[in-house]
Amino acid sequence: MKMKNKKTLIGIIIFILLIVAIIVIKNISDNDTGSVLSGKLTTVYVATGGGKEDFLNDKDVVKILRNKYKLNVVFDTWSNGKTITKPLIREYVGLGNKSIAEDMSNGGEYSIHSDGVSTYDALFTSDQRFYDYYKLYPNKDAGEADRYTVLDGGLTLNTPIVIYSWGKVVDALISENIVTETEGVYYITDMNKLINYILEGKKWSDIGLNSLYGTINIASTDPVSSSPGATYYGLLLSILSEAQVTADNIDKNLPKLKDFYTKSGYMNNTPADLFERYLKTGMGGEPMIVDYEKSMIDFANSSPDAFNQVKEDIRILYPTPTIWNSHCFTVFTDKGAKLYEALNDKEIAAIAWERYGFRTGVSGGTYDVSSIGLGVPQTITSTVTSLKMDTYNKLIEYLKEN
């Protein structure tokens, strides 16, 4: 009988130890993924423009936000334009209150002030013009939706517009006094000359590149339907206007941009597709393309073997001046303010650059850029300011005209 009781006691002890072990393993697993007990977390809801999904979902970024700042952040995907024209509530993108979301899909009308809707604590646009415009009173005559009161915000993640090319192409542009190399970094120091070459219909063979067929061109995404394309054409307009776009010179330069747009031919709608074509088709397929600096850094980190195959011939050209693509954070609530502060964390800033190519800070941050192994400047100083929404709208409408 004693032996039976002893076995029972041992069994109970083993069972208890097993339960304890499961709890310990669960806690360790939670800590590894950045989780904490839900009661200790503050949930922050953010309407988020594209282009930074991988960064925001990075396990170490999530871990820092949860463990260090006790924030559980929910990033809902929005297009930049919809943040202006549609009610900025979670139900609009099919989330939040399911009955309201279903009613909205059937034509029901709601605003940020409607009872029962799920509101946001912040907006994280991927284009500065939408950040600037959101802070203005909504234009009801144009069908714009009610907006939250903006408490704080600013530029958070930045990446400049660059032109990706190849060694032989860049050598030819250096001979044409269009590109200059300084300390291993290639700058387009005569953007006007390059623009004129394209407008004049000069061929690649005219600058000594007999192996390339057709006229000189810089492939870009469509400015009518793509934010990167619109940013690039905004840069071109600023350059043609000598960095000061006015009511007088915009009317003078829009026909030139329309001609430039027409000569550009087929355009991809997404920068990811264009960048992939650049890498896969090489110099013969895409001699020059427009994209963000972050694309190459992201590619180098996510696909190191593929990057090493092409890195010796890749060239990154920095227009002088260039323009920032700025992902701007807009604060609506105290919870949003806590996240805004957290996103300025030094560890998060390092991850943003080292893994995803986002610069943080006015001129590019204080991290080391040499690890990339390509000509990347430590700071970006020659830039033009982002154009206002009405200027972009006028530019895009003009390009859309037949």
> Tokens 């920032």 correspond to what residue?
324
Position 304 scores a pLDDT of 92
CA angle 89, 93, 94 (to 5 degrees): 105
Global confidence as pTM: 0.85
pLDDT at 60: 98
Strands in 167-299 per DSSP E = 179-182, 185-188, 289-292
Structure tokens at 145: 């939706």
In this prediction, residue 36 carries a pLDDT of 45
The pLDDT of residue 28: 47
User: What contacts 99, CB < 8 A, 6 or more positions away?
Assistant: none
Q: What pLDDT tens digit does each residue of the chain (402 aa) get?
A: 555 555 566 666 666 666 655 554 555 444 544 444 445 899 999 999 999 999 999 999 999 999 999 999 999 999 999 999 999 999 999 999 999 999 999 999 999 999 999 999 999 999 999 999 999 999 999 999 999 999 999 999 999 999 999 999 999 999 999 999 999 999 999 999 999 999 999 999 999 999 999 999 999 999 998 888 999 999 999 999 988 888 888 999 999 999 999 988 778 778 889 999 999 999 999 999 999 999 999 999 889 999 999 999 999 999 999 999 999 999 999 999 999 999 999 999 999 998 999 998 644 455 677 777 788 898 888 999 888 899 999 999 999 986
State the greatest distance between any 2 C-alpha atoms of the chain, in Å, as a whole number. Answer: 103
Q: Three-state SS across the chain?
A: CHHHHHHHHHHHHHHHHHHHHHHHHHHHHHHHCCCCCHHHCEEEEEEECCCCHHHHCCHHHHHHHHHCCCEEEEEEECCCCHHHHCCCCHHHHCCCCHHHHHHHHCCCCCCCCCCCCCCCCEEECCCHHHHHHHCCCCCHHHCCCCCCCCCEEEEEEEEEEEEEEEHHHHHHHHHCCCEEEECCEEEECCHHHHHHHHHCCCEHHHHCCCCCCCECCCECECCCCCHHHHHHHHHHHHHHCCCCCCHHHHHHHHHHHHHHHHHCCCCECCHHHHHHHHHHHHHHHCCCEEEEHHHHHHHHHHCHHHHHHHCCCEEEEEECCEEEEEEEEEECCHHHHHHHHHCCCHHHHHHHHHHHCCECCCCCCCCCCHHHCCCCCCCCCCEECCCCHHHHHHHHHHHHCC
| Rg value, the chain, Cα | 26
> Taking Cα atoms as reference points, which of 123, 127, 401, 392 lies closest to residue 255?
401
Residue type, 144: E
Of 131, 123, 55, 66, nearest to 89 (Cα)?
Answer: 123
Contacts of 282 (CB under 8 A, 6+ apart): 166
Residue 390: helix, strand or coil by DSSP? helix
Closest to 164 in 3D by CA, of 85, 282, 81, 243: 282
Is residue 168 a contact partner of residue 205, using CB atoms and an 8 Å limit?
Answer: no
Rounded to an integer, what distance in angstroms lies between the CA atom of residue 144 and that of residue 138? 6
* Start-to-end Cα distance in the chain: 98
CATH no. for 159-324+373-400: 3.40.190.10
DSSP state of 148: P
Structure letter (DSSP) for residue 319: E
The closest of 295, 318, 290, 294 to 375, measured between CA atoms, is 318
Q: Which of 242, 197, 189 is nearest to 215 (CA)?
A: 197
